[in-house]
Amino acid sequence: MPWLSILMGVPVLGALAVAAVPKGNDRLAKQLTLAVSLVVLALTLAMAFQFDPAGPRDQFAEVYRWIPAFGVHYAVGVDGIALVLIALAVVLVPIVVLASWHDADRPDARRSVKTYFSLILVLEAMMIGVFAATDVFLFYVFFEAMLIPMYFMIGSYGGAQRSYAAVKFLLYSLFGGLLMLVAVIALYSMAGKNTFLFPELIGVIKDPTAQKWLFLGFFIAFAVKAPLWPFHTWLPDAAAQAPAGAAVLLVGVLDKVGTYGMLRFCLELFPDAAKFFTPLVITLSVIGIVYGAIVAIGQTDMKRLIAYTSISHFGFITMGVFAMTADAGAGATLYMVNHGFSTGALFLLAGFLIHRRGSHHISDYGGVQKVAPVLAGTFLVAGLSSLSLPGLSTFVSEFLVLIGTFERYAVPSIIALSGMVLAAVYILWMYQRMMTGPTAESVKALPDLNVREKIVIAPLVALLIGFGFFPKPLLDVINPAVKQTLTSVNVTPFAPAVPATAEKKGAGQ
């Protein structure tokens, strides 16, 4: 059964159906979108149960020739890493749909409600495709094409600065993507195998100089996407201006394509170059961790604050990816999933608050926990997961990343630990300013979460707590895939000893 093609086909057909809903019947469009996304979720779960962690690498693989002239295949398949990221995407989509129920209704939105929801479904198909692609060219196509629906979601339905944010988002990503295009072309012509199939390209590029240039082409694209410091400046704008649901998909899933790409393509296709650049990448990651956290503390807009926390967390993920140890790799992959849930919950709750009070500013709130205890409580849980409190799922992943990194790069991991301390500052201080203290006049009448919103948040909180205590199901799927990735990285003969200067650099000396 062509599982992955079905997973992509259903949302595409769903998007067409939603777009075809007659005007004025917005409710039907929303219900249809929700139904389609739930069907996709059910199908993904059915597929995931058939996944064999100990089995071959690319499961549910499909390979068809698409453009023989360029050696391009429609090739999809998943390993453990891709599977959990697809699962992340399809879990978040129905939640986002339900949470965005009224987001597009506002009178100042430029376009129709059904367009918003059909864009979400198109995006879902592309998110599945980008993680499932096992052909480098196909990956690139999804990587670029998924910008367009997100661009319209931000630009048409976002906040006051939406068109600026949308253009900035698109241009940054396009620029990175175009550099990657050069690398993709060069990879193809240097490999000379007349194919873009990822498994066949592993280990083909031997020349160290070529590896370095190609690595940079891919890496910059992923670093913009992730985003890694100093390529991050588009994210706070885009995330703050996007409607809450789109922000969840943007930060929760789309940005993971960057870290996923580093793990999958940068490491496996160019192992020597990856090792060469590791000190640099680890340094950037550590800077990102600390910088993101410090800047987050200074934010007055809660969505921007959450965006900066994400920059800090993406630093942990890239550090874990490039530490190239089994623990760090598994931790980074797990972090990609957990960060999606935890940041998703934070963005959605922030969206509910903004919807009620009509303000992004932290200072406009105060004492909310007295009038809306459920909202404040879930906000606290989501916040605590963002600061990696033990017992919540992000703790497991952050801990794994730090342990795994410490094995090789002790000093950077120690500096990165300060990110955890700073996280406590930005989350708890935000909570203190918004939720505790005397109730501000403007939020006196703030209603608590309604049933729909509770349904939205409940699964996220359950996942955060559930995987916090029992991450084994995810790790069982992730571990073999990460081991396999690291094997193909280390399999090359020239494994240079990592220069000791890395630690000095990382220490910020």
Partner 1 sequence: MSTLAAVAVDPPKIEYAELSPMLLVFGAAIAGVLVEAFTPRYLRKSIQVPITIVSLIGAFVLTVWLGLRGTRDAAAMGSVAVDGPALFIWGAILLLAVVSVLLINDDDQFVAQAAAVPGSADEDRAISEGGAHTEIYPLVLFAVGGMLLFPAANDLLIMFVALEVMSLPLYLLCGLARRRRLLSQEAAMKYFLLGAFSSAFFLYGTALLYGFAGSVDLAAIAKSLGSVAGQDSLLFMGAATLAVGVLFKIGAAPFQAWKPDVYQGAPTPITALMASGTLIAAFGALLRVFWVALGNLDTEWIPVLWAVAILTMVVGAVLAITQTDIKRMLAYSSIAHTGFLLTAVVATGNAGQNAGALSGILFYLLAYGFATVGAFAVVTMVRDAGGEAGHLSRWAGLGKRSPVLAGIFTLFLLAFAGIPLTSGFFGKYAVFSAAVAGGATALVIVGVVTSAMAAFFYVRVIVLMFFSDPAPEGPTIAMPSMGTAAVVTLSAAATVVLGVFPQPVLDLAHSAAQSLFVR
Q: Is 410 in the site for partner 1 (CB under 8 A)?
A: no
Figure out which of the listed residues 185, 202, 326, 428 binds partner 1, where binding follows CB under 8 A: 185
State which residue, 41 or 147, has the beta carbon closest to partner 1.
147
Distance CA 227, CA 394 (A): 19
Q: Is 186 in the site for partner 1 (CB under 8 A)?
A: yes
Torsion region of 135: left, alpha or beta (phi above 0 gives left; psi -120 to 50 gives alpha): beta
Q: Is 191 in the site for partner 1 (CB under 8 A)?
A: no
Distance CA 310, CA 340 (A): 10
8 Å CB contact between 247 and 143? no
Distance CA 139, CA 65 (A): 15
8 Å CB contact between 104 and 113? yes
Instruction: Give the shortest CB-160-to-partner 1 separation in angstroms.
Output: 12
How is residue 341 written in tokens?
A: 């849930």
Q: Is 1 in the site for partner 1 (CB under 8 A)?
A: no
Distance CA 174, CA 269 (A): 22
Q: Is 243 in the site for partner 1 (CB under 8 A)?
A: no
State which residue, 153 or 293, has the beta carbon closest to partner 1.
153
State which residue, 185 or 440, has the beta carbon closest to partner 1.
185
Q: Is 179 in the site for partner 1 (CB under 8 A)?
A: yes
DSSP letter at 301 equals B
State which residue, 6 or 160, has the beta carbon closest to partner 1.
160
State which residue, 2 or 68, has the beta carbon closest to partner 1.
68
Distance CA 92, CA 90 (A): 5
Distance CA 51, CA 46 (A): 9
Distance CA 116, CA 506 (A): 44
State which residue, 67 or 421, has the beta carbon closest to partner 1.
67
Instruction: Give the shortest CB-269-to-partner 1 separation in angstroms.
Output: 17
Give which of 214, 217, 174, 196 is closest to 76, Cα–Cα: 196
Distance CA 15, CA 28 (A): 13
* H helix runs in 262-392, sequence order: 267-269, 271-297, 302-323, 326-357, 368-371, 373-386
Give which of 35, 36, 45 is closest to 12, Cα–Cα: 36
Distance CA 199, CA 269 (A): 9
4-12, 37-45, 63-71, 263-271 -> range binding partner 1 (CB under 8 A): 63-71
Instruction: Give the shortest CB-119-to-partner 1 separation in angstroms.
Output: 12
Q: Is 209 in the site for partner 1 (CB under 8 A)?
A: no
Instruction: Give the shortest CB-9-to-partner 1 separation in angstroms.
Output: 14
How is residue 74 written in tokens?
A: 């429609």
Distance CA 324, CA 483 (A): 10
State which residue, 210 or 403, has the beta carbon closest to partner 1.
210
Distance CA 492, CA 486 (A): 11
The site for partner 1, by CB under 8 A, has a size of 34
27-35, 151-159, 292-300, 412-420 -> range binding partner 1 (CB under 8 A): 151-159
Q: Return the percent helix, strand and coil in the chain, to nearest 5.
A: 75, 5, 20
What are residue 235's phi and psi, to 5 degrees?
A: -65, -50
How is residue 342 written in tokens?
A: 């935890």
Q: Is 19 in the site for partner 1 (CB under 8 A)?
A: no
Q: Is 155 in the site for partner 1 (CB under 8 A)?
A: yes
State which residue, 208 or 391, has the beta carbon closest to partner 1.
208
Instruction: Give the shortest CB-228-to-partner 1 separation in angstroms.
Output: 19
- Find the binding residues for partner 1 in span 64-83 (CB under 8 A): 66-70
Give which of 474, 251, 244, 242 is closest to 343, Cα–Cα: 251
Distance CA 335, CA 171 (A): 27
116-124, 154-162, 261-269, 489-497 -> range binding partner 1 (CB under 8 A): 154-162
Figure out which of the listed residues 117, 188, 322, 431 binds partner 1, where binding follows CB under 8 A: 188
DSSP, collapsed to helix, strand or coil, labels residue 59 as strand
> Largest Cα–Cα distance of the chain, in whole Å?
69
C-alpha of 364 from chain center: 29
Figure out which of the listed residues 171, 204, 458, 491 binds partner 1, where binding follows CB under 8 A: 171
State which residue, 65 or 102, has the beta carbon closest to partner 1.
65
- Find the binding residues for partner 1 in span 111-150 (CB under 8 A): 111, 140-142, 144-145, 147-148
41-49, 180-188, 223-231, 486-494 -> range binding partner 1 (CB under 8 A): 180-188
167-175, 225-233, 302-310, 399-407 -> range binding partner 1 (CB under 8 A): 167-175
State which residue, 139 or 291, has the beta carbon closest to partner 1.
139
Q: Is 276 in the site for partner 1 (CB under 8 A)?
A: no
Instruction: Give the shortest CB-18-to-partner 1 separation in angstroms.
Output: 15
State which residue, 38 or 174, has the beta carbon closest to partner 1.
174
- Find the binding residues for partner 1 in span 81-110 (CB under 8 A): 110
For partner 1, the binding residues (CB under 8 A) are: 66-70, 110-111, 140-142, 144-145, 147-148, 151-152, 155-156, 162-163, 166-167, 170-171, 174-175, 178-179, 181-182, 185-186, 188-189
